[in-house]
């Protein structure tokens, strides 16, 4: 009598190993197909290849994605927030088609952003950064302030946040793809809670659950080099930044119930940046669930603000 090899996944769930492997391969192929469906471009720079994707027309906005994401995920993050802009989303170091240069730093990433803007013939852009993307976006404002018209940081990794730490070296030795896929596939509700980082009492609407599921799909396939760079180098680097030296118009938005990055760290960072504005949202976790309209309205007003008039107001 033949026996099938079975893999136990906990909680009484057992799946034939071959079926599990085929499903895993099918899902990853589907994730790669989603990436391939988006037109992407690559430029050569002093820091290696820099990949980017674009969408829309209007005033240019540089979109800096968070951990696990790519240029495609960056476009997804602003899908419902910015609709009348030219969105330019690069893949950060080690993500998708962008090189992870030796001894990479967020400062070098900011220089690579500046190189991309120069290659595109853009003298100045608005910038929006999410989560772990805040680190290199802040460096762009510090190192190339002339290129940043406005800087918006949403649920950012900022000094003193629980995310702004160096992960143990063991993180580099692990493959995040399989465990994340298993959690997504066999415990989707748990995965949604972990990724959205909302408290237990937060009740997701149907729209919230749909967005969380789409967001989780957009994290695959996992880019190990990019994740390692964020977790082991980039995230903690933000703790040493001289935020007082940032003088570009800055908007920082954070939810009070975010269980991943820190609302209080964002509030403190806003107080350190010259005339930065801090928008505190009551709920929504790290994905800012249910807050789309508020954030969209804030961004539209902020990016439309006259920089020269603001500078005159600050000086007075």
Angle between helices 177-186 and 188-196 (to 10 degrees): 120
Strand partners, 237: none
Identify the band that residue 8 occupies on the pLDDT scale cut at 50, 70 and 90. Answer: low
Nearest Cα to Cα of residue 223 among 92, 135, 33? 92
- Rounded to the nearest integer, the mean pLDDT of the chain is 92
Q: pTM for the whole thing?
A: 0.91
Per DSSP, the residues of 102-152 read TT--HHHHHHHHHHHHHHTT-S-EEEEEEGGGHHHHHHHHHH-GGGEEEEE
**What value does the CA radius of gyration of the chain take, rounded to a whole number of Å?**
20
Give residue 260's pLDDT: 97
Other CB atoms closer than 10 Å to residue 202's CB: what's the count? 17
Task: Note the pLDDT tens digit of each residue in 132-158.
Answer: 999 999 999 999 999 999 999 999 999
Other CB atoms closer than 10 Å to residue 24's CB: what's the count? 15
Question: Three-state secondary structure along 51-117?
Answer: EEEEECCCEEEEEECCCCCCHHHHHHHCCCCCCCEEEEEECCCCCCCCCCCCCCCHHHHHHHHHHHH
CATH H-level, domain 41-305: superfamily: Alpha/Beta hydrolase fold, catalytic domain (3.40.50.1820)
DSSP reduced 3-state for 98? coil
Least reliable range by pLDDT among 75-84, 210-219, 227-236, 300-309: 300-309
DSSP element (H, E) containing 314: helix 307-315
Between CA 174 and CA 224 the distance in angstroms is: 9
Give residue 1's pLDDT: 39
Task: Note the pLDDT tens digit of each residue in 14-36.
Answer: 557 888 889 999 999 999 999 99
Task: Note the pLDDT tens digit of each residue in 41-52.
Answer: 999 999 999 999
> What is the average pLDDT across 59-64?
98
Domain spans of the chain?
41-305
Report the greatest alpha carbon distance in the chain: 86
Q: What is the dihedral of CA 174, 179, 180, 182, to 10 degrees?
A: 160
Strand partners, 54: 88
8, two tokens: 């136990």
> What is the average pLDDT across 221-225?
93
């Amino acid at each position: 009598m033949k026996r099938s090899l079975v893999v136990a996944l906990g909680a009484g769930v057992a799946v034939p190993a071959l079926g599990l492997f085929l499903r895993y391969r099918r899902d990853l192929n589907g994730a790669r197909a989603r990436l391939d469906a988006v037109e992407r471009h690559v430029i050569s720079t002093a820091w290696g290849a820099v990949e980017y994707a674009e969408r829309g027309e209007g005033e240019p906005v540089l979109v800096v994605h968070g951990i696990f994401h790519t240029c495609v995920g960056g476009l997804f993050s602003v899908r419902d927030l910015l609709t009348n802009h030219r969105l330019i989303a690069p893949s950060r170091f080690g993500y998708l088609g962008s090189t992870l240069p030796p001894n990479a730093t967020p400062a070098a990433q900011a220089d690579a952003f500046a190189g991309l803007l120069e290659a595109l013939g853009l003298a100045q852009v608005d910038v929006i950064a999410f989560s772990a993307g805040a680190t290199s976006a802040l460096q762009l404002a510090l190192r190339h302030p002339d290129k940043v018209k406005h800087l918006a940081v949403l649920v950012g990794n900022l000094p003193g946040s629980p995310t702004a730490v160096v992960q143990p070296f063991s993180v580099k030795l692990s493959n995040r793809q399989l465990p994340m896929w298993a959690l997504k596939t066999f415990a989707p509700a748990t995965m949604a809670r972990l990724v959205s980082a909302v408290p237990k009492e937060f009740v997701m609407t149907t729209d919230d659950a749909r967005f969380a599921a789409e967001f989780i799909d957009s994290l695959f396939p996992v880019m190990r080099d990019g994740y390692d760079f964020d977790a082991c180098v980039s995230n903690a680097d933000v703790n040493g930044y001289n935020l007082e030296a940032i003088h570009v118009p800055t908007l920082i938005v954070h939810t009070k119930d975010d269980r991943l990055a820190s609302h209080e760290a964002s509030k403190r960072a806003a107080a350190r940046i010259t005339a930065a504005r801090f928008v505190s949202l009551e709920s929504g976790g790290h994905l800012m669930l249910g807050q789309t309209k508020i954030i969209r309205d804030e961004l539209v007003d902020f990016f439309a603000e006259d920089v020269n008039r603001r500078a005159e107001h600050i000086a007075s």
